[in-house]
Every structure is written in structure tokens, then in C-alpha cells.
């Protein structure tokens, strides 16, 4: 008697914990039910993946979808649409909205806004402030919350936790891994005069490597003293990497595709303020150090830090211009291009974009192609060449710093819990997203 599935992915080259090999995958009730030779199986839907690679669904663990408060730049619907068009099956969304996501009421509002509107699965960070440190333990335990995020240096929005006493209180006030934007606020204020009017090339001079190193050194010291797991977001400097390597017993680290792809001063000369983000794109020797850290395992995860702004906002005069760039739709193809160039193995791609996030944040049922796991897949054509173009960016901002760049390796289907939501660069289903579940808070779901 043959097996019957809701979805059968046939003949793809699957990247599983056991290795890379051709296999069929059978999906039933949103979960992976069988892996192997399923030639005699029947299914309501069959996806012929011959010649394609079937990867665990890409998880982008840092996006800013701007809702509520700045929906002219992005909202939960448009940002998640960009995600699935780029092969991303799940996102962690950031709290620096207006108002910021710093209370139970604000979190419930965001979860309500996401319901029946987001195309991918999702979880939200709660933002830490000096005023809410006492409530963070309760807030991080809510269903649909991925953890606490603290801005140690000022960036986009009003969230800031810069004093050592407040940082330590936040670290002591919870148990889940806490994520930080690591720049030293005092040094940022001291060096503001280095940001020269009309010259975005001075952005990494103002927000220099020492600004990041000082902050990371301090927060690692405080987290170790507090006994708290830490996640340092968008690491950009060679200077921070030895500190992070010495803290692998409790600290994890992220970098971004843009910090692995672009370099100063060329990116500022070519893109101007469209290359401006925090922490900045830096000189090539920092980029090479990041690649070495990726190879050595110091970097645990890659997130896009998708942070869109309108052209009108970006076209103002530096430094009166917002920092941030879109990236959720281009994350996978940029990294697959690096795979084709030999800088990343496919297994390492999967670890950085899927298994790593699931492991360090304790996402339940995601991050690998294994029996019983959610049927989340990013199906890619590793040989496909295509130009990245502003015209197909789904984000409301309508631009990408990688416009005109040809990449090799493209997502051709996005499958979330067994439902094909993107195929051949077009949406096939709408609003399938649900909150992610986490080992630490399963009792809250």
C-alpha cells in the first residue's frame, strides 16, 4: 500500500542533517512525514524538484517592518511579502516602531496586526528600556516573542539602553538569549563632529570600529557577570571578533550579507546615503575578518537587518539621513552567490540561515529537514543567474543597494508548513504566516 501525502517534493537534492543527497520529501498536516525514495507515493500536490536543491526554510532573524508608526516605509504585509519572494519562510521582527514594542499592550497589538496579514511565519522582539527592565522577564515569556532586544547605542527610533546599571538590570531580568545592537553611546556623542555634512563616507569614521569594540567588550563582561546568554547583532569589525571567540560559552554573533559583500569607501562613493546603516559598512579588511569568522564558526547566524527608508528620506543631506537598507528579499540570493563563488559551503549556508537561528533561539520544529519538523523549505536553483533590480523589490521603499548586481543561485519556491506560497518569483498564496513557537515558552502557546 502506498503512502499518501498532502505535498510530495520529488527528486530534489535535499540538504539534511545526514548530508546532501537526492531524496523525495512527503508532507502531511504541515509537517515532514517521510524522506527518501517515495516513488510509489500519492499526493494532493506534487512539486518536481529535479535539478533543484531543497533547503530548510530560511529564517531571517533580524528585520524591521516599521509597523506601527512608519507604514509609509514598510508594513507587516509588504515586508513579509518581500520575505517569501526572497525564499524566507520566517522572520524575527524588531521593536523600534512608533510606539516602540516595550509593553504587553504593544506586543499584543503587533501580534494582532500580524494575524492573517503576514505571508511568512514570525516572532517579535520586545524592546528594553530603563523603564521596563522589571517587566522584561514577563514580556519575553509571551507567545510569539523571540526575546529581548536592547539598543546600546542610538540608531533608528527612540529605544536606548546605554547606562551600565540599566544594561546589567536588563541582563539580570530574564533567562532567554538577549539580543543587542552594540555601539557605545558615549563615544557616538563624542565623535558626532566626525560626520561631515554631505559626505556619507564619514559615517564609518564617526561610528568607528572602537565604538563597536568598546560596547561589545562591556556587554560581554556584563552578560557573563549576569549569567545571561547574549546575541550580538550585525557584528562589523575585526576588533570585536576575538572578544566574541572568547565568549562562545554564552554569546552568539550575527553578521549581515551587506557587511560580507560591500566595503568602504567604494560603497559610499557609488551609493551615497543608500549605503548608510548602523553599524556602518566598513573597510575591506573588516569584511575579510568577518569572512574568516564565518569560516571559523565565530559567526553563528546571518540576518538581513532589513531596514527600509524611502528615497525621499535617503536623498536628504548626510548626516540628516536615516540609517538602514532593505535586505530580506535579497538575503538568500546574495549568500547563494557567495556559495557559488566558493566562499561558503551549502551546508554552512543552511547553518547560518536556518539551523543556527533555530538552535540558538530554541525555535520549536524549525531549522532542518527531518521527520516531524515543520515542512518549511526554500527550494533553490543554484545555477540560475539573474540581476537584482529595484523594479521587483516588494518592500514599500522600492530600492535595493544591490540594484544591477547579477547573482548566481536563486530561490524558486518558498514552502511554509507544507503550503507553497511562492513559486517562480511570484506569490501563489497569501497570508499564511503564523507565530513561531519556542522551547522556552511552549507553555505560553
What is the per-residue DSSP string for 116-138? TT-SSEEEEEEEP-TTTGGGHHH
Q: What is the pLDDT of residue 295?
A: 97
| Residue owning grid cell 520575505 | 83
Domains and CATH numbers, the chain: 4-54+370-382+407-439 (2.30.40.10), 58-361 (3.20.20.140)
Average the pLDDT over 120-145 and give the result. 97
pLDDT above 70: percentage of residues in the chain: 98
Q: What is the pLDDT of residue 242?
A: 98
- Residue 347 CB coordination number (10 Å): 14
- Residue 404 CB coordination number (10 Å): 9
Question: Buried b / exposed e across 298-309, counting CB within 10 Å, b at 16+?
Answer: bbbbbbbbbbbb
Q: pLDDT band for position 1 (50/70/90)?
A: very low
Tell me the C-alpha distance between 413 and 421, whole Å. 8
315 carries an active-site annotation: no
Pairing of strands 121-127, 88-93: parallel
Q: For residue 353, what are the CA distances in angstroms to 17, 88, 219, 241, 424?
A: 14, 9, 25, 20, 21
Q: pLDDT band for position 445 (50/70/90)?
A: low
Torsions phi, psi for 36 (to 5 deg): 145, -150
Question: Does the pLDDT at position 2 exceed 90?
Answer: no
Q: Where are the alpha helices (DSSP H) in 132-283?
A: 136-139, 164-172, 185-190, 203-206, 209-226, 241-245, 257-261, 266-271
Q: What is the pLDDT of residue 430?
A: 86
Residue whose C-alpha is closest to residue 232's, from 347, 223, 161: 223
Phi-psi domain of 437 (left: phi exceeds 0; alpha: psi -120 through 50; beta: other): beta
Q: pLDDT band for position 153 (50/70/90)?
A: confident
| Contacts for 440 with CB less than 8 Å, ≥ 6 apart | 141, 175, 176, 362
Average the pLDDT over 213-235 and give the result. 98
Torsions phi, psi for 363 (to 5 deg): -75, 130
**Do 372 and 415 meet the contact criterion of CB atoms below 8 Å apart?**
no
Average the pLDDT over 7-31 and give the result. 97
DSSP state of 281: P
Question: Does the pLDDT at position 415 exceed 90?
Answer: yes
Q: What is the pLDDT of residue 431?
A: 87
Average the pLDDT over 317-324 and give the result. 98
Q: pLDDT band for position 61 (50/70/90)?
A: very high
Query: Crossing angle, helix 209-226 and helix 164-172, to 10 degrees?
Result: 40
Question: Does the pLDDT at position 157 exceed 60?
Answer: no
Q: What is the pLDDT of residue 155?
A: 65
Question: Does the pLDDT at position 335 exceed 60?
Answer: yes
Q: What is the pLDDT of residue 92?
A: 98
Torsions phi, psi for 337 (to 5 deg): -65, -40
Q: Where are the beta strands (DSSP E) in 241-400?
A: 251-255, 301-302, 377-387
Q: What angle do CA 248, 331, 366 make, to 5 degrees?
A: 60
pLDDT digits (tens, 9 = 90+) for 339-371: 999 999 999 999 999 999 999 999 999 999 999
Candidates 75, 121, 208, 305; catalytic one: 305
**Do 241 and 289 meet the contact criterion of CB atoms below 8 Å apart?**
yes
Q: What pTM did the predictor assign?
A: 0.97
Question: Does the pLDDT at position 338 exceed 70?
Answer: yes
Question: Does the pLDDT at position 117 exceed 80?
Answer: yes
Q: Average pLDDT, whole number, for the chain?
A: 97
Amino acid at each position: 500500500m502506498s503512502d499518501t501525502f498532502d505535498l510530495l517534493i520529488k527528486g530534489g537534492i535535499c540538504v539534511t542533517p545526514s548530508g546532501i543527497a537526492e531524496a523525495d520529501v512527503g508532507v502531511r498536516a504541515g509537517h515532514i512525514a517521510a524522506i527518501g525514495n517515495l516513488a510509489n507515493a500519492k499526493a494532493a500536490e506534487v512539486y518536481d524538484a529535479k535539478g533543484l536543491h531543497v533547503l530548510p526554510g530560511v529564517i531571517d532573524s533580524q528585520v524591521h517592518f516599521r509597523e506601527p508608526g512608519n507604514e509609509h516605509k514598510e508594513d507587516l504585509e509588504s515586508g513579509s511579502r518581500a520575505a517569501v519572494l526572497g525564499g524566507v519562510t520566517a522572520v524575527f521582527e524588531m521593536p523600534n516602531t512608533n510606539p516602540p514594542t516595550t509593553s504587553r499592550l504593544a506586543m499584543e497589538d503587533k501580534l494582532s496586526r500580524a494575524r492573517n496579514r503576514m505571508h511568512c511565519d514570525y516572532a517579535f522582539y520586545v524592546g528594553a528600556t530603563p523603564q521596563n527592565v522589571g517587566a522584561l522577564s514577563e514580556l519575553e515569556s509571551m507567545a510569539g516573542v523571540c526575546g529581548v532586544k536592547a539598543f546600546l547605542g542610538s540608531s533608528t527610533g527612540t529605544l536606548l539602553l546605554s547606562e551600565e546599571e540599566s544594561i546589567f538590570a536588563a541582563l539580570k531580568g530574564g533567562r532567554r538569549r538577549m539580543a543587542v545592537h552594540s555601539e557605545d553611546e558615549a563615544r557616538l556623542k563624542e565623535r558626532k563632529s566626525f560626520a561631515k555634512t554631505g559626505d556619507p563616507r564619514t559615517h564609518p569614521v564617526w561610528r568607528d570600529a572602537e565604538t563597536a569594540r568598546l560596547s561589545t567588550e562591556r556587554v560581554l563582561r556584563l552578560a557573563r557577570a549576569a549569567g545571561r546568554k547574549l546575541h550580538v547583532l550585525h557584528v562589523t569589525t575585526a576588533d570585536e571578533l576575538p572578544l566574541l571567540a572568547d565568549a562562545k560559552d554564552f554569546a552568539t554573533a550575527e553578521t549581515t550579507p551587506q557587511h560580507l559583500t560591500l566595503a568602504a569607501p567604494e560603497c559610499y562613493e557609488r551609493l551615497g546615503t543608500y549605503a548608510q546603516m548602523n553599524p556602518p559598512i566598513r573597510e575591506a579588511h573588516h569584511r575579510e575578518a568577518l569572512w574568516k569568522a564565518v569560516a571559523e564558526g565565530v559567526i553563528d547566524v546571518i540576518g538581513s537587518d532589513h531596514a527600509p527608508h524611502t528615497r525621499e528620506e535617503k536623498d536628504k543631506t548626510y548626516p540628516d539621513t536615516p540609517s538602514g537598507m532593505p535586505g530580506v528579499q535579497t538575503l538568500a540570493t546574495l549568500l547563494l552567490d557567495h556559495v557559488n563563488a566558493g566562499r561558503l559551503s551549502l551546508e554552512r549556508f543552511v547553518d547560518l540561515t536556518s539551523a543556527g537561528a533555530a538552535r540558538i533561539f530554541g525555535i520549536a520544529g524549525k531549522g532542518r529537514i527531518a521527520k516531524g519538523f515543520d515542512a518549511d523549505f526554500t527550494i533553490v536553483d543554484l545555477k540560475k543567474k539573474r540581476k537584482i533590480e529595484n523594479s521587483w523589490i516588494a518592500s514599500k521603499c522600492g530600492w535595493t543597494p544591490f540594484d544591477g548586481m547579477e547573482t548566481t543561485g536563486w530561490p524558486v519556491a518558498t514552502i511554509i508548513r507544507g503550503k507553497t506560497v511562492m513559486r517562480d518569483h511570484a506569490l501563489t498564496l497569501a497570508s499564511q504566516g503564523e507565530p513561531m513557537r519556542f522551547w522556552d515558552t511552549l507553555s505560553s502557546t
